[in-house]
Amino acid sequence: YKDARAIEHIYPLIRTEKQVTKVFEDIEEEPGIILYTVVDQNLARGIDERCAAMGLPCVSVLEPVLAVFQSYLGTPAGRRVG
């Protein structure tokens, strides 16, 4: 991506809907590709829905990793934060 310049916005420890709402207020000001690592499935679903509504691409970075562990270990992920 030779001609692209990434601007990184980092929001650590997002664990509540209120925090997600605040992040999306910022995203509305400076939209772009969203990469997230939220374990809570309800929050992740909400992020996906908000991104879709805004027409923004987003990727749950953890989902492929969790899927590999689930497949290999034969048990679902605990989905516990921390």
In tens, the pLDDT along 35-80 reads 999 989 999 999 999 999 999 999 999 999 999 999 999 988 776 7
Q: How many domains does the chain have?
A: 1
Cβ 60 vs Cβ 33: under 8 Å:
no
Q: Running DSSP on this structure, what letter comes out for residue 34? A: E
Q: What is the pTM of this model?
A: 0.86
- How confident is the model at residue 6, as a pLDDT? 87
Instruction: Please check whether residue 27 lies inside any domain of the structure.
Output: yes
User: Does residue 80 lie within any of the structural domains?
Assistant: no
Task: Give the range of the structural domain holding residue 61, as residue numbers without chain letter.
Answer: 17-73
Please give the DSSP secondary-structure letter assigned to residue 51: H
* Cα–Cα distance measured from residue 28 to residue 24, given in angstroms and rounded to the nearest whole number: 6
Q: Indicate the pLDDT class of residue 82, thresholds 50, 70 and 90.
A: low
Residue 12 lies in a domain: no
Work out whether the CA dihedral 18, 19, 20, 21 comes out positive or negative: positive
- 58 within a domain of the structure (yes/no): yes
Mean pLDDT value across residues 1-30: 94
Provide the token pair at 71: 């497949």
